[in-house]
Chain A
């Protein structure tokens, strides 16, 4: 299986389930890129529920990102709880149980930085609603590597802190409302 050269990464926290559901519902069923999601949640959750809820809304199949499994185009991969999610140069998922970054694990920063290394200017990174500043440094790394940064309009986010921090520390190529995010992702993907 060829390693996709384009990928979408999405980070969110508080209010993330609702925002993600809207975005995933609007994606093209024939999207030619993988979608990789980090959404903060409770510690003892085994991850199955989030996958199930997102699968209900999504136009694409939703699966938990599996250790050492290939990142697949046309699939929404969700970071498992309790681990940081990374991608190796061969386009497979790797996990880390290293300490929390900005009090969270999985951390959006860790995913974004690892994905920026692999996909470079083929990466589209999206920061959605959230009540902390995780994702801001990661988004800066994405932009340094030539990737495209898309941030949810903070004024309409359930928790504006995450998109605000991203805009302050990384800036964005586009700021958009929830209703138009999926279209923007569709337009930039093969």
Chain B
């Protein structure tokens, strides 16, 4: 290694991870350190802590701080129809196959504030499949789950999202699906009718459904190789034979042993299928 001994802030990061685990039962040891460190530093700075060590002390002594810390460590901001070509590919290559099932189970793992689960609901609605679908939207961050369930977003996002929707092949206007008021947009309640929001931690929890499709975009990038492999194994065990997995645009599962049974269906859109090539 280029550096002969660990830097002080790297030691502090490891102690912070241990403290969260010992005191609160949250295990971040499988998180990639480079990105985790930035998030922990950001939480520390927001709490006027000069070092990660100072934050550790406060997290150990003040249970009230935990929700804010967990929220800060789980972040993912997304957009509706982020990377429009992915949803175009889903509609063209995956939905026609899903249509052959009388009942369709979909798991969106790491739903954060919910932008993508509503994207999915709209996509399925326009494909005429939504009535037959059950979507499980999960996250380990309760604050984000509550926000996702509300389906209220800043209106400032509307223009980007609308453009994304059209680029993805949307058939109407995205604004048909929300009411705008007080600088916010509230998504149509009907979009929630087949969505179940639930707390599930990919680090610790197991299989809970048998799905035809799993979406997990830009979540595994925050995990070490070992945790990435564990979660891919969880996805494999949760999918029906021939089920689909959609990852983030630049994610690589090439090094994960558990990915061996997945076949790449669309390299650009990062759509994989469980089992032999179709």
**Chain A residues in the interface with B (C-beta under 8 A):** 3, 5, 46, 66-69, 80, 82-84, 86-89, 94-99, 110, 113-114, 117-120, 122
Contact = CB atoms under 8 A, between A and B. Distances in A.
Contacts of A95: 35, 221, 250-251
Contacts of B252: 66-69
Contacts of A83: 221, 250
Contacts of A120: 2-3
B34 A3 contact: no
B34 A87 contact: yes
B276 interface: no
Contacts of A86: 32, 34-35, 38
Contacts of A80: 249-250
Interface string B1-13: 1110001001000
Nearest to A101: B38
A164 to B, nearest CB: 25
A68 B248 CA distance: 14
Ranked 4 nearest A-B pairs via Cβ: A86-B34, A97-B218, A96-B35, A67-B252
Nearest to A79: B250
6 contacts: A68-B252, A83-B250, A87-B34, A94-B32, A95-B250, A117-B34
A98 B35 contact: yes
B255 interface: yes
B222 interface: yes
Q: Mostly helix, strand, loop or mixed at chain B's interface? A: loop
A88 B34 contact: yes
B46 interface: no
Interface string B250-270: 111011000000000000100
A118 B7 CA distance: 10
A6 B22 CA distance: 38
B39 A98 contact: yes
B221 A96 contact: yes
A117 B2 CA distance: 10
A46 B250 CA distance: 10
Contacts of A118: 2-3
Contacts of B35: 84, 86, 94-96, 98
B184 interface: no
Categorize the interface residue count of chain B: 20 to 34
Contacts of B83: 82
A157 B257 CA distance: 47
Contacts of B268: 46
Contacts of A94: 32, 34-35, 221
Contacts of B77: 97-99
Given A3-B2, A117-B7, A67 B250 contact: yes
A124 B108 CA distance: 42
B96 interface: no
B2 A119 contact: yes
A146 B51 CA distance: 20
A89 B38 contact: no
B225 interface: yes
A96 B222 contact: yes
B256 to A, nearest CB: 9
A114 B1 contact: no
B206 interface: no
Contacts of A119: 2
Contact of A97 (B32, B221, B254, B255): B221
Nearest to B42: A98
Most B CB within 10 A of own CB, among A96, A113, A122: A96
B75 interface: yes
Nearest to B37: A117
A96 B10 contact: no
B200 interface: no
Interface in B157-199: none
B58 interface: no
B88 interface: no
A86 B41 CA distance: 15
